[in-house]
A and B are shown apart, each in its own frame.
Chain A
Amino acid sequence: MTTAPEAPVARHGTSRLVDLFEYGLAAPICLTWELTYACNLSCDHCLSSSGRRDPRELSTAEAKAVIDELEAMQVFYVNIGGGEPTVRPDFFELIDYATGHHVGVKFSTNGIRITPAVARRLARNDYVDVQISLDGATAEVNDAVRGAGSYATAIRAMENLADAGMRNFKLSVVCTRHNIPQMDEFKALADRYGAQLRLTRLRPAGRGADVWDELHPLPAQQRQLYDWLVAHGDTVLTGDSFFHLSAYGQALPGLNLCGAGRVVCLIDPVGDVYACPFAIHEDFLAGNVRTPGGFAEVWRDSELFQRLRAPQNGGACASCAFYDTCKGGCMAAKFFTGLPLDGPDPECVRGHGEELLARRPQDGTRLPKPSVDHSHRTSPARRSRPVDLTLVRRREDLDRPPVSACAEGPLTGFRLTGTGDQK
């Protein structure tokens, strides 16, 4: 761009900024807040477990107190998710409270409540953004995972939002083995409704890696996705989803860094604070917003977050030529697939993850299990069986989303600009 020795406004992608971020920020950039695990009616279409609300769920007053803290800390926006957040009776009250206090809201929904009236209401509020989840660009592919009718529900929601004049809402896709060939179709779908496409990585979350094993992209598909992102990366949002793919060659647009406890965190419905929405396990529990110091103290001082912000050593990855951009990949993906945290990502593009996965005990007994269960199953959970998609759809089998298809990549939608170019 210029011959300036060093632009005082740093540019996206400079490793130095990433290095600065590694020491943690004064407040999170991306805070995911799961307001409730409650979900509307039949959850055939919903991989996000849920059921009844947790009796210990933060009350309206407590949630507002959290928002006050976020305002004071200048958290620019929160990603609201959960079961289906719109079923919380005070959902709109909380949204209005947050946006009235300079905390923007992005929320994810399966679309079921996005009626024309709700769409108009959302479109009126500049501080609200909506993300519609779809896992297939066709009803066939989508409904196989999310349940019959869910494709139609999402499309109707997008129509309503577009008709209400909402622009640049997000069409949110978790990339799986089944939909990676559909990237162009997803893009066309987003364009049709004036939406922006966000792609997130399928991460093994909560209940273990069995479903992930069946759904995560095959090595050749990772390459296909990488090539697609290189060609279209500036028109889609990916956040920190695919930095492990940068080892194929060039760094991809997005944030190339694991932000857990540094840039990102999760507040769950009962106020527990975790390092990342994909790391719901006591090993990554930093504290609770109900403690006297509140969220601010947990963010600033928790022993866990301090540790995550200390310089990390690359372990088995340190000698890898791509470590600078890949950084060994996603902590949560390693953790829930039973791999060492200081080694390669299970989807390491150089194949090192696969080697390690193959050496794990075959019965899955060593895989970490979530130590908390906030979602209320309607019958006793049955664990780990051979995976098929039909099983995935059955809510009673899920105590946590086996794959967080409804959850948000913490940094997806995140765009860093220093020079004004949209990256």
Chain B
Amino acid sequence: MTTMDLDRAWDLHPQVSVRPEPFGALLYHFGTRKLSFLKDRRLLTAVQSLADTPTARAACLASGITEAELPRYGRALAALVQSSMLVGRTS
């Protein structure tokens, strides 16, 4: 299973659009033309705060995700990295 570095800065890919839905959110990547969805509001909050948080770990914890849940949410984020929905941020 893919993992990602939770201790670095991440962001949504600039070509990704996030649309809130009653069940969570839909993500669409205009470059790959792939659609993904988040079925969890805390994950949505975490994803949306990546840009303003120094690390993915901090974004998760600030969104109400507990330490114990981090591995599971980390895998979810890793999946989003793998499909290019999320990209590393250097600034």
Contacts and interface: CB of A to CB of B under 8 A. Distances in A.
A416 B36 contact: yes
A420 B79 contact: yes
Contact of A10 (B19, B35, B39, B80): B39
Q: How large is the interface on A (under 10, 10 to 19, 20 to 34, 35 or more residues)?
A: 20 to 34
Q: How large is the interface on B (under 10, 10 to 19, 20 to 34, 35 or more residues)?
A: 20 to 34
Interface stretch (B5-13, B26-34, B51-59): B26-34
Contacts of B22: 20, 23, 25-26
B33 A129 contact: yes
Contacts of B26: 25, 29, 76
Interface string A18-34: 00100101110100000
Contact of A76 (B2, B30, B31, B75): B30
B75 A2 contact: yes
A387 interface: no
B37 A418 contact: yes
B80 A420 contact: yes
Contact of B72 (A7, A76, A129): A7
Contacts of A25: 21-22, 26
Contacts of A8: 38-40, 42-43, 72-73, 76
B68 to A, nearest CB: 12
A415 B26 CA distance: 12
A1 interface: yes
B34 to A, nearest CB: 5
A17 interface: yes
A59 interface: no
B66 interface: no
Interface in A375-423: 413-420, 422
Contact of A74 (B19, B37, B79): B19
Interface in A134-148: none
B37 A7 contact: no
A422 B35 CA distance: 10
Contact of A29 (B35, B76, B78): B35
A9 B38 contact: yes
B21 A26 contact: yes
Given A8-B43, A20-B23, A25-B21, A420 B37 contact: no
A125 B54 CA distance: 33
A417 B35 contact: yes
Contacts of A104: 30, 33
B25 to A, nearest CB: 10
A127 interface: yes
Contact of B1 (A2, A129, A413): A2
Nearest to B41: A8
Nearest to A416: B35
Nearest to A1: B1
Q: Which of B15, B31, B33, B76 has the most CB of A within 10 A?
A: B33
B78 to A, nearest CB: 8
A102 interface: yes
A76 B28 contact: yes
A418 B36 contact: yes
A412 to B, nearest CB: 13
Contact of B76 (A5, A7, A417, A422): A7
Contacts of B21: 25-26
Contacts of B15: 126
A231 interface: no
A10 B36 CA distance: 9
Interface of B: 1-2, 15, 17, 19-23, 26, 28, 30-31, 33-40, 42-43, 71-73, 75-76, 78-83
Q: Which 4 A-B pairs have the closest CB atoms?
A: A420-B82, A76-B28, A10-B39, A8-B40
Given A8-B39, A416-B35, 5 more contacts: A7-B72, A29-B35, A102-B17, A104-B33, A168-B33
24 contacts: A4-B71, A5-B72, A7-B75, A8-B38, A8-B39, A8-B43, A8-B72, A9-B43, A17-B37, A20-B22, A20-B23, A25-B26, A26-B19, A27-B19, A104-B33, A129-B33, A415-B33, A417-B34, A417-B83, A418-B36, A420-B2, A420-B80, A420-B81, A422-B34
